[in-house]
Structure 1
Amino acid sequence: MKYLRRLSPFLLMSALALGGVAHAQDFRVGFVNTDRIFREATTAKAAQAKLEQEFARREKELNELGGSLKAAGERFEREAPTLSESQRLARQKQLGDQERDFQRKRREFQEDLNARKNEELQQVLERANRVVKSVAEAEKYDLILQEAVYINPKHDITDKVIRALNSAR
């Protein structure tokens, strides 16, 4: 599949060259910067705000848990010289267990956040792709690219797509 991706631009350019200059002039290419859409489109910003609201409570709880764990560790460091060997070992074990529990909760939080973020971004991308298709059809583009090493700014239709996305709300 990677081979086809690398070969596709070559085939496209070969077809343009073989098709002659007259056909190449009729061939319209556009470019859409999906990163900009994810940053600037109202739907993407709304999705980000939704995620922040959805995960704010868990993030706050994790931050508080991390702070209390840090404070407990500092307290242990101060008190360790005055503790008996068995007390020190018991507190070390307790802190280790709490640290593992904290790391597990943080990892679960990050996994849940990433999964939801991917879901929301997928919805934004699907909506953006529908808008790209309608812009391409309305303006008679033959090809719209989403990734390119270089693109002449005159072919960039990202602003049109973002405006259409924002107005379609």
Structure 2
Amino acid sequence: MKLNTSWLIALLGLAIGSPALADGFKMGYISTERIYREGAPFVAIMKRLDKEFADRRNDLKRMESRGKDLEATLGKSALAPADRKNFERELDSLDREYRVKSRELSEDFNQRRNEEFSAMLERANRIVKSIAEKEQYDLILQDAVYVNPKFDLTGKVLKELDK
């Protein structure tokens, strides 16, 4: 039977609150989102990925600009019916192509980011385990709704990642 995370945290709170267990119980917290955002290796990965996908993003920006130009042209009432129809076709075609390329870019970027982050996340987890063993933590939580800052070990992990 699997316990819901909320129930686990509530039970943990009760256990920590009990005087018999509170003595010597050491708990910490890690913010994965902050590690992704501030960790030097993760920042470097994002910069590398931004460069890798820059051409495709620029292509989408050019398509978007062309689409706006076409919309502006179509907004003019002085167009001949044949010209209006041609511009509408071009806009429809451009819109379809834009949506396909945008979706492909998003999927490719997310796949590459996940590939790159997974190796670095393994390293971060090893660092967390090392800190836990070295400083004798009984429990280290990750990504909670609220944690008192005195339990936050994210800064220590960031320092180790930056080495």
TM-score category of the 2 structures, normalised to the smaller one: 0.7 to 0.9
Q: How many aligned residue pairs are there?
A: 163
2:45 counterpart of 1:47: yes
Match of 1:70 in 2: 68
SS in 1 for 2:28: strand
Deviation at 1:46, TM superposition (A): 0.8
Match of 1:26 in 2: 24
Q: Give the one of 104, 110, 116 matched to 1:114.
A: 110
Could you tell me which runs of 5 or more consecutive residues in structure 1 were left unpaired when the two chains were aligned: none
Distance 2:92 2:8 in 1: 54
Report the TM-score when normalising by structure 2: 0.85
When residues 29 and 88 of structure 1 are mapped into structure 2, their CA distance, relative to the original with a 3 A threshold, is same
Deviation at 1:40, TM superposition (A): 1.2
When residues 39 and 2 of structure 1 are mapped into structure 2, their CA distance, relative to the original with a 3 A threshold, is farther
Q: Give the conservation status (yes or no) of the 8 Å contact 2:15–2:22.
A: no
Please tell me the root mean square deviation across aligned C-alpha atoms, in Å: 2.3
Match of 1:93 in 2: 89
Q: Counterpart amino acid of 2:5?
A: R
Q: Once the two structures are aligned, what percentage of the paired residues are identical? A: 39
2:161 counterpart of 1:165: yes
Deviation at 1:111, TM superposition (A): 2.2
Match of 2:6 in 1: 6
Q: Counterpart amino acid of 1:112?
A: D
Distance 2:73 2:55 in 1: 27
Distance 1:87 1:150 in 2: 59
Match of 2:141 in 1: 145
Moved more, 98-107 or 66-75: 66-75
Report the TM-score when normalising by structure 1: 0.82
